[in-house]
Amino acid sequence: MRRPPENGEAASEEGIGSWGLWGQQETRRLGCAGPDRCGQALLQIGINMMALPGGRQVDSITLPGQRLHLMQVDSVQRWMEDLKLMTECECMCVLQAKPISLEEDAQGDLILAGGPGPGDPLQLLLKRGWVISTELRRIGQKLAQDRWARVHSMSVRLTCHARSMVSEYSAVSRSSSQEMGQVEKLLMEKCSELSAVTERCLQVENEHVLKSMKACVSETLSTLGQHFGQLLELALTREVQALVRKIDASDNIYTTESTTGNLFSLTQEGAPLCRIIAKEGGVVALFKVCRQDSFRCLYPQALRTLASICCVEEGVHQLEKVDGVLCLADILTDDSHSEATRAEAAAVVAQVTSPHLPFTQHLTSFLESMEEIVTALLKLCQEASSGEVFLLASAALANITFFDTMACEMLLQLNAIRVLLEACSDKQRVDTPYTRDQIVTILANMSVLEQCASDIIQENGVQLIMGMLSEKPRSGTPAEVAACERVQQKAAVTLARLSRDPDVAREAVQLSCMSRLIELCRSPSERNSSDAVLVACLAALRRLAGVCPEGLQDSDFQQLVQPRLVDSFLLCSNMEESFV
Encode pLDDT of 180-207 as tens digits: 889 999 999 999 999 998 888 888 878 7
pLDDT at 52: 29
- Asked if the structure places residue 562 within a domain, the reply is yes
Q: Are residues 380 and 274 in the same domain?
A: yes
- Does 176 fall in a domain? yes
Same-domain status, 255 and 197: no
- The C-alpha angle 248, 252, 258, rounded to 5 degrees, equals 75
**pLDDT value, residue 226:** 93
- Evaluate if residue 25 carries a pLDDT over 60: no
How many domains is the chain partitioned into structurally?
Answer: 3
Higher pLDDT, 242 or 553: 242
- Is residue 574 domain-resident? yes
Q: DSSP assignment, residue 323?
A: T
| Model confidence at 43: pLDDT above 50 | no
Sequence-distant (≥ 6) Cβ neighbours of residue 424 within 8 angstroms: 430, 436, 439, 464
Same domain, yes or no, for 382 and 259? yes
* pLDDT mean over 146-158: 90
Residue 499: name the closest of 533, 461, 531 by CA.
Answer: 461
Using the 3D structure, point to which of 366, 396, 414 is the last residue of a domain.
Answer: 414
Q: What is the pLDDT of residue 10?
A: 36
The arithmetic mean of pLDDT across residues 51-64, rounded, is 34
The more confidently predicted of residues 93 and 260 is 260
- Does 509 reside within a domain? yes
Is residue 531 in some structural domain? yes
Which has more confidence, 251 or 94?
A: 251
Instruction: Work out the average pLDDT over 266-292.
Output: 94
* Mean pLDDT across 313-322: 92
Q: What is the mean pLDDT of the chain?
A: 80
Residue 60, pLDDT > 90, answer no
pLDDT for residue 429 is more than 90: yes
Question: What pLDDT sits at residue 83?
Answer: 65
- CA-nearest of 107, 165, 169 to 138 is 107
Q: Are 404 and 256 in a shared domain? A: yes
pLDDT, position 2:
54
- Express as a percent the part of the chain with pLDDT over 70: 78
Q: What is the mean pLDDT of residues 487-506?
A: 93
The predicted pLDDT at position 242 comes to: 92
In this prediction, residue 362 has a pLDDT band, given cuts at 50, 70 and 90, of low
Percent of the chain with pLDDT over 90: 51
Domain boundary among the residues 196, 230, 264 is at 230
24 in any annotated domain: no
Q: Are residues 369 and 462 in the same domain?
A: no
What tens digit of pLDDT does each residue of 516-557 get?
Answer: 999 999 999 899 889 999 999 999 999 998 887 877 888 888
Is residue 526 one of the residues assigned to a domain? yes
Per residue, what are the HEC states of 169-200?
Answer: HHHHCCCCCHHHHHHHHHHHHHHHHHHHHHHH
Q: Is the dihedral of CA 21, 23, 27, 31 positive or negative?
A: positive
Please name the residue ranges forming H helices in 384-460.
387-403, 406-413, 416-424, 433-446, 452-458
**What pLDDT is attached to residue 94?**
47
CATH code of the domain containing 342: 1.25.10.10
Select from 414, 412, 435 the least CA-distant residue to 424. 435
Residue 118 pLDDT exceeds 60: no
Residues 575 and 486 in one domain: yes
Of 68 and 273, which is predicted with more confidence?
Answer: 273
pLDDT exceeds 90 at position 492? yes
Q: How confident is the model at residue 484 (pLDDT cuts 50, 70, 90)?
A: very high
Distance CA 55, CA 166 (A): 24
Looking at the structure, do residues 543 and 487 belong to the same domain, yes or no? Answer: yes
Residue 317 and residue 401 in one domain: yes
Q: What are phi and psi of 156, to 5 degrees?
A: -65, -45
The rounded Cα 491 to chain-centroid distance in angstroms is 26
Kind plus residue range of the DSSP H or E element containing 125: helix 121-144
Q: Do 267 and 135 lie in a common domain?
A: no
The whole-model pTM stands at 0.75
Tell me the C-alpha distance between 163 and 132, whole Å.
11
Instruction: Give the domain CATH number at 161.
Output: 1.20.120
Q: Are residues 257 and 378 in the same domain?
A: yes
Residue 322 has pLDDT above 90, yes or no: yes
Mutual angle of helices 531-547 and 513-522, in 10-degree steps = 140
| pLDDT of res. 519 | 92
Identify whether residues 174 and 139 lie together within a single domain: yes
Of 230, 265, 292, the position where a domain reaches its end is: 230
Give the tens place of pLDDT for each residue, 368-399.
Answer: 899 999 999 999 999 999 999 999 999 999 99
Q: Centre a 10 Å sphere on the Cβ of residue 254 and count the other Cβ atoms it contains.
A: 9
pLDDT level of residue 40 (50, 70, 90 thresholds): very low
Across 474-482, average pLDDT: 90
Per-residue model confidence (pLDDT) at position 47 = 28
pLDDT higher than threshold 50 for residue 20? no
Choice between 481 and 62, residue whose per-residue pLDDT is larger: 481
- pLDDT > 90? residue 340: yes
The whole-number average pLDDT for the span 16-30 is: 33
From CA 304, how far away is CA 515, in angstroms rounded?
45
CA nearest 240: which of 218, 213, 267? 267
Tell me what pLDDT residue 172 has.
Answer: 80
- 277 contacts 266 by C-beta, under 8 angstroms: yes
Asked if 459 and 550 sit in the same domain, the reply is: yes
Q: What pLDDT sits at residue 127?
A: 87
Residues spanned by the domain of 569: 452-579
How many angstroms separate the CA atoms of 35 and 56, rounded?
8
- The pLDDT value recorded for residue 403 is 82
Would you say residue 421 lies in a domain? no
Confidence of residue 128 (pLDDT cuts 50, 70, 90): confident
- Which pLDDT tens digit goes with each residue over 67-115? 444 344 567 776 776 665 555 555 554 444 444 444 444 444 554 444 4
